[in-house]
Amino acid sequence: MHDRRQFIQSTVAVGAALAANPLQFARAAGEPLFRISLAEWSLNRHLFGGELDNLEFPAFAKNTFGIEAVEYVNQFFMDKAEDRAYLTELKQRCEDAGVRSVLIMCDREGDLGDADPAARTKAVENHYKWVEAAQFLGCHSVRVNARSSGSYEAQHDYAVDGLRRLAEFGADHGLGVIVENHGGLSSNGQWLSGVITAVGLDNCGTLPDFGNFTIAPGEDYDRYQGVAELMPFARGVSAKSYDFDADGNSIRIDYPRMLRIVLDAGYRGHIGVEWEGREPPDEIEGVRLTKALLERIRDELADSYSA
Cβ atoms of residues 191 and 156 within 8 Å: yes
pLDDT at residue number 29: 60
The pLDDT score that the predictor gives to residue 28 is 61
- 265: CATH: 3.20.20.150
Residue 296 burial (CB count, 10 A): 14
Look at the chain and report how many structural domains it folds into.
1
**Cα separation of 208 and 97, whole Å?**
28
Rounded Cα gap, residues 229 and 220, in angstroms: 15
Question: Could you give the C-alpha distances from 165 to 123, 159, 277, in angstroms and in order?
Answer: 11, 10, 35
The pLDDT assigned to 234 comes to 98
pLDDT single digits (tens) 280-296: 679 999 999 999 999 99
In what order do the strands lie in the sheet containing 204-207? 204-207, 176-180, 141-144, 100-105, 69-73, 35-39, 270-275, 237-241
Q: Residue ranges of the chain with pLDDT lower than 70?
A: 1-29, 279-280, 307
Range of the domain at 29: 4-305
Residues 63, 103: Cα–Cα separation, whole Å? 20
Instruction: Enter the pTM of the model.
Output: 0.90
Contact 228, 262 (CB under 8 A): no
Query: By C-alpha distance, which of 140, 113, 109 is closest to 127?
Result: 109
User: Residue 307 has what pLDDT?
Assistant: 56
Return the pLDDT at 5.
36
